[in-house]
Structure 1
Amino acid sequence: MPLSPLEHDRRHGELDQVIRAYAGQPADDTPDTPSEALTAYLRHTWHTRPWALATAEVQLREYARNPPGRLRLRLGEFYAIPDVGLPEADIQQWLSCLADHIGRSVENGEAPPPATPVTHWEWHARFPELAQILGGWFSQDMPDEFDDHDAAVDDYVTGTHPQLVARLVGEVSELLALDLDESDAALAVAELGMEVDPPARYSPGAWLALVAERLQSPRADRGPGAAR
């Protein structure tokens, strides 16, 4: 029978996080140089969950040493490595290479310095609540569902716990602190799921700053149509 969620996380949970970091990215790690995807995983995990790195190293190495045999394949009791663009015969060596890079990073205390996200996975891992509102409320269907941008923000706030709204405000502040130029800010919100343009006369950064400002204002101070 398939792995239970608990057993999956116990045996492969952090391995899965590493593999997810390769979505849309080449698995071009070498023994001397980690890929851009692995560097993004290391950068984010070092600065958010450093204790998880040792778990990732163990799970990667264990899977490389003991890939699922025919019985486990037949029963479905295994973690299926998604297609990362490598021949099946090279997967075990690749996983061992990832484990080596992570192990050296931990042993030597070599954490990639903070930087602007460079992969789709890293954008979403670093700004999860911002991805939630942009991808869920500002998709290409937004003009059919809401009168305007303020109405979409209103709807988000109405159905979202205040602590998550506060998290959104913090994530917007963190994004603005990256000091992206207008074109890079547009790429950032697109990576996070926004499929419509900001309101007329606003750049993506200026609009996000306005939303964050309104969300921090006491409800009584917000004008008609403003985000609540």
Structure 2
Amino acid sequence: MKQLQHDRKYGELDQVLSAFLGQPADDTPEQPSAALQAYLRHTWHARPWAIGIAEHQLRDYAHNPPGRLKLKLGEYYPLPDVSIGEESVLDWLLVLADHLRASVDSGEVPAPGPPRTHWEWRARFPELAQLLGGWFSQDMSDEFTGHEAALADYLDTTDQHLIARAAGEVAELLALDLEESDYAVGLAELGLEMEPPAPYSPSGWLALLADRLGGPRAEYGPSRKAEYDS
């Protein structure tokens, strides 16, 4: 299936179901699951118009599941495994659609708050996840001499607009004013596999990142990385 065709028919359906990866699909007609609440909390504040699209795509898929021809041609969306029996999954999609419709009809916007699922962390802080997962994974020590060298490489090789976006996401994360243990969990969800450098706590290192990412930028030669490594 071509990408445009996929996005038109299943793009937002895919966003909803991605929110359930690693989360129980325990929605009932009376109560949405934690995963669906996370999708609603993020999407209401980031892309509110997408909720209606998701409701339509979920309902359309449940009423018109792919038949033999679409299966043969590969022109369908393969539902991810959410630990629901094949005989019940279409009814579950309708339960999700009903909750999304009710949310739009009521106009009740979930209060902003800290992310509560892996999907919500990544959806809310995508560039920070790119930075942490790409430069501060368990392979960092094989590629760089330390945290500062890894950050210097990110700054030297990343577009300025993306660096500015990461700076804004760090500022937003610090504004949540979480406990240190919650910051540690959040950083791990975003891809950090190394401890923050001594003597920094998770929030202290985030404050340092905010300063480095948001500071004035200029063109540097090869000596800049050496300066960080020294």
TM-score, normalised to structure 1, is: 0.95
Q: Specify the alignment match of 2:228 in structure 1.
A: 225
Unmatched runs of 5 consecutive residues or more in structure 1: none
In structure 1, C-alpha distance between the alignment counterparts of 2:215 and 2:12, rounded to whole Å: 39
Q: Specify the alignment match of 2:179 in structure 1.
A: 181
Q: Specify the alignment match of 1:9 in structure 2.
A: 7
Q: Specify the alignment match of 1:82 in structure 2.
A: 80
Give the drift of 1:214. 2.1
Q: Specify the alignment match of 1:170 in structure 2.
A: 168
Whichever residue aligns with residue 193 of structure 2, its letter is: E
In structure 2, C-alpha distance between the alignment counterparts of 1:132 and 1:215, rounded to whole Å: 14
Give the drift of 1:219. 4.4
Is 1:116 the equivalent of 2:114?
Answer: yes
Q: Contact conserved, 2:166 with 2:213, CA < 8 A, in 1?
A: no
TM-score, normalised to structure 2, is: 0.94
Percent identical residues: 62
Give the drift of 1:212. 1.3
When the two structures are aligned, how many residues end up with a matched partner?
A: 223
The structure 1 segments of at least 4 consecutive aligned residues displaced by more than 6 Å after TM superposition are: none
Kindly report the root-mean-square deviation, in angstroms, between the aligned alpha carbons of the 2 structures.
1.4
Q: Specify the alignment match of 1:199 in structure 2.
A: 197
Whichever residue aligns with residue 81 of structure 2, its letter is: D
In structure 2, C-alpha distance between the alignment counterparts of 1:172 and 1:214, rounded to whole Å: 11
In structure 2, C-alpha distance between the alignment counterparts of 1:214 and 1:27, rounded to whole Å: 40
Q: Specify the alignment match of 2:141 in structure 1.
A: 143
In structure 1, C-alpha distance between the alignment counterparts of 2:107 and 2:98, rounded to whole Å: 14
In the TM superposition, what whole-angstrom CA distance separates every residue of 1:190-224 from its partner, at most 9, and x where no partner exists? 0000001011110111011112112222347x993
Equivalent residues in 2 for 1:12-31, closer than 5 Å: 12-31=10-29
Q: Specify the alignment match of 2:208 in structure 1.
A: 210
What SS is found at the alignment partner of 1:155?
Answer: helix
Unmatched runs of 5 consecutive residues or more in structure 2: none
In the TM superposition, what whole-angstrom CA distance separates every residue of 1:129-181 from its partner, at most 9, and x where no partner exists? 10000000000010110011011011111111111101111100111111111
In structure 2, C-alpha distance between the alignment counterparts of 1:216 and 1:125, rounded to whole Å: 21
Whichever residue aligns with residue 129 of structure 1, its letter is: E
